[in-house]
Amino acid sequence: MMANKQRLGVNIDHVATLRNARGAAYPDPVRAALMAEAAGADGITAHLREDRRHIQDKDIEALMDALTVPLNFEIAATVEMQAIALRLKPHAVCIVPEKREERTTEGGLEIAADQSRLADFIIPLSEMGCRVSLFVEADERQLEACVGVGAPVVELHTGAYCDFHAKGDIRATDDELKRIMRCAAFADELGLEVHAGHGLTFGNVGPIAALSEVAELNIGHFLIGEAVLMGLEPAIAEMRRLMQQARA
């Protein structure tokens, strides 16, 4: 199904990374989120990691108070994070795998292997009215398992596509893109809402934004990096322009 307007979720984690590098109070991720909102972001994403390396608990609470667009609260499927989500009631929860030693979210969830635990994890969040998405590799087996655990939304991991693109490996980039295309169509047939993200930049966003089934892109690291150089609002405006151009 062609989502009319593709939504852009801006991930503000790395504003907090910069702040925490000095243990200072600035730059403030909440201020960045409000600027992103003013620049046309449809939602804000923030990942409260177990080790609190960027976003802190107080940031999530402040975002819940300050935002007028939906907050997509990214968490690992742990008891601690579930309790925070149930207390704060964000619009959406995106469940991701988390390893302490990783630099960023490296792979997707292994849902098939963890089906009953994830189903139990999702039930109270869904009952509370929260839209739950699962971050997975573009893999048909994982998508079928998403339906099995009762998640209405899936976010396809675009990291491998972006890595091959950055290395200039045209063949591997194309293979990855085909895999994502096939899985976006399959997820849509299964009745899942499809999101995508990880590693997206001005240079590689076009073919992903063009996928008619993809209703939302979540983009962080590149936009915050560009914000340092060109400003957050122009960076978001340019990303939006490229997304619209790809869909035209």
Token representation of residue 22: 């000095």
CB 218 within 8 A of CB 194: no
Q: Is 74 annotated in the active site? A: yes
Q: Which of residues 204-243 bind ligand PXP (CB under 6 A)?
A: 218-222
Token pair listed for 119: 């189903």
Distance CA 236, CA 219 (A): 10
Is position 47 annotated as part of the catalytic site?
Answer: yes
76 binds ligand PXP per the rule CB under 6 A = no
| Contact with ligand PXP (CB under 6 A) among 11, 82, 142, 204 | 11
Does residue 105 belong to the site contacting ligand PXP (CB under 6 A)? yes
Instruction: Determine the Cα angle at 47 with ends 90 and 147, to 5°.
Output: 65
What is the DSSP-derived secondary structure letter of residue 70? P
DSSP β-bridge partners for residue 133 = 94, 153
Cβ closer to ligand PXP: 224 or 248?
A: 224
Residue 151 carries which side chain, given as an amino acid letter?
A
Among 10, 30, 48, 94, binds ligand PXP (CB under 6 A): 94
The reply on whether position 197 binds ligand PXP by CB under 6 A is: yes
Active-site positions read 47, 74, 198
Chain residues that interact with ligand PXP, rule: CB under 6 A: 11, 13, 47, 74, 94, 96, 104-105, 135, 155, 197-200, 218-222
